[in-house]
Amino acid sequence: MDVLVTGSSGLIGSEAVEYYDRRGHRVIGVDNNMRRQFFGEAGDTLWNRDRLLAKTRQFIHFDLDIRDRGAVDQLFDNYSFDLIIHCAAQPSHDKAREIPLIDFDVNAVGTVNLLEATRQTRPDAVFIFMSTNKVYGDAPNEVPLIEKEKRWEYARPEDFDGISETCRIDSCLHSVFGASKVAADIMAQEYGRYFGLPVGVFRGGCLTGPSHSGVELHGFLNYLVKMAVTDRPYTIYGYEGKQVRDQIHSADVIAAFDAFAANPKPGEVYNLGGGRENSVSVLECLEMVEELLGRPVRRSYAGQHRTGDHICYISDLGKIRRDFPGWDIRIGLDEMVAEMVRTEVDSHRSTTEVGAA
């Protein structure tokens, strides 16, 4: 089959490219490296594109901007896609405040361009939209919490598994990024519920893995590891580093997409994070990395937390586990952190050796 992956040089997109290429499918990737425009040289993803082109067998890359409706329509005229995995986005709620129009055009308009091209050419194709838990705004902060030594935690037993898909998405503060993703999220649902297309919406928690071009404004765990390995100070924004996230490896994300593609449920929404077992605070992450490196990680504190930031966010995975019982989290927190530290150490060593030569 033909698979379209947008944001194909990013973390989740590149994982999808490799996954479907290994299975013998032709994968068409779309990525115009806007991450470099958003975040500078550190956000550049050309290294990942080149890695994919060298490693894969049937991967075709297009430097295409999803805001360009004509170019999107032409792509859909040239290929008959069986599966669309839409990961391209402006991903930072901090950056979005500086570029609200670009943010909305990429996240909302670009998504509608892809949905409509699918409806017009291949309405039976499965469409997977990578949304975000930021669509809930700061509503999750209304859940009663207790402060512990190294993390915030849910106070009530009924909240132990985390935030479910029933959490409201309005009457709260989102950030500009969260609002643009709400628009895309709702439109994707409507193409499933109103038009009947096999569209699935996945609201990601903290997505991570070694193929992430993490930067300070996006890619928390990967960026933390980079700063630690290179012995630069990591800045903690607000909540004394006790804010909690659930980490999910990119391979587990793609496994969830594949489960949906095999049994699509039009218009359904799923929270997709590491869940309770992969939940961790910033302070706890720092301790894990310190143990792996065998030395302290330098850190600094910024008293102001990020606008609309979650204090404690754990994805309730009950719904996705019920609908797709063959899927579950397979990569634990210890394994993914160790993998990232190992990858970053090797990369830093290689760069240092090249520089010395």
pLDDT at 41: 84
Torsion of CA 123, 124, 126, 129, to 10 degrees: 20
Query: Crossing angle, helix 11-22 and helix 250-262, to 10 degrees?
Result: 60
pLDDT of residue 267: 98
CA distance 347 to 353: 10
**What pairs with residue 129 in β-bridges?**
86, 201
CB 343 within 8 A of CB 210: yes
Task: Collect all residues with Cβ–Cβ distance below 8 Å to 281 and sequence separation of at least 6.
Answer: 150, 151, 152, 241, 242, 243, 244, 245
Q: Do 15 and 29 form a contact (C-beta atoms < 8 A)?
A: no
Residue of 282, 129, 281, 109 whose CA lies nearest to 204? 129
The answer to whether 13 and 31 have CB atoms below 8 angstroms apart is yes
Q: Residue 295: how many CB atoms within 10 A of its CB? A: 11
> What are 79's two structure tokens?
């290929």
Query: How buried is residue 120: exposed, middle or buried, by Cβ count under 10 Å (0-12/13-18/19+)?
Result: exposed
CATH architecture, domain defined by 2-352: 3-Layer(aba) Sandwich (3.40)
Structure tokens at 261: 């593609």
Domain limits, the chain: 2-352
Three-state secondary structure along the chain?
CEEEEECCCCHHHHHHHHHHHHCCCEEEEECCCHHHHHHCHHHCCHHHHHHHHHHCCCEEEECCCCCCHHHHHHHHHHCCCCEEEECCCCCCHHHHCCCHHHHHHHHHHHHHHHHHHHHHHCCCCEEEEEEEHHHHCCHHHHCCEEECCCCEEECCHHHCCCECCCCCCCCCCCCHHHHHHHHHHHHHHHHHHCCCCCEEEEEECEEECCCCCCECCECHHHHHHHHHHCCCCEEEECHHHCCEEEEEEHHHHHHHHHHHHHCCCCCEEEEECCCHHHEEEHHHHHHHHHHHHCCCCCEEEECCCCCCCCCECCECCHHHHHHCCCCCCCCCHHHHHHHHHHHHHHHHHHHHHHHHC
Going 63 to 68 to 72 to 78, the CA torsion angle's sign is: negative
Pairing of strands 26-30, 126-132: unpaired
C-beta separation of 181 from 132 below 8 A: yes
Per-residue pLDDT of the chain (357 residues; tens, 9 = 90+): 999 999 999 999 999 999 999 999 999 999 999 888 888 887 889 999 999 999 999 999 999 999 999 999 999 999 999 999 999 999 887 899 999 999 999 999 999 999 999 999 999 999 999 999 999 999 999 999 999 999 999 999 999 999 999 999 999 999 999 999 999 999 999 999 999 999 999 999 899 987 766 666 556 788 899 899 999 999 998 899 999 999 999 999 999 999 999 999 999 999 999 999 999 999 999 999 999 999 999 999 887 777 778 999 999 999 999 999 999 999 999 999 999 999 989 877 765 554 554
